[in-house]
Amino acid sequence: MNALFVAVFVLLSLSGILIGLLLVKNPALAIELQKRFYRRINWKIEPISLSKEIRNTRIMGGMLIVLLAALLLHLVWRKLSLL
């Protein structure tokens, strides 16, 4: 595998894991940032149930962490098996 590809992949994966941790730790902030973004493009969004939206945002963050961690582990395992 190309070393540049591996470095970029690892950097993006770690960034995604950090974003996932943010979603799990502070889902209300993520929801507020999304609402601000949509206001800038002249849309107004509001969740029907804020408690469900917070729960779903936490779940999404956890799934992002698990998926990217699995991809990183696969990359490391594959890299080590090629040595």
Q: Delimit the domains of the chain by residue range.
A: 13-78
Counted residue by residue, the chain has a size of 83
pLDDT tens-digit series, residues 18-73: 999 999 999 999 999 999 999 999 999 999 999 999 999 999 999 999 999 999 99
pLDDT band (50, 70, 90) for residue 5: confident
| 57 touches 30 (CB < 8 A) | yes
- Give the model's pLDDT for residue 83: 54
Is the entire prediction scored with pTM above 0.85? no
- Please say whether the beta carbons of 79 and 6 come within 8 A: yes
The yes-or-no verdict on residue 14 having pLDDT over 90 is yes
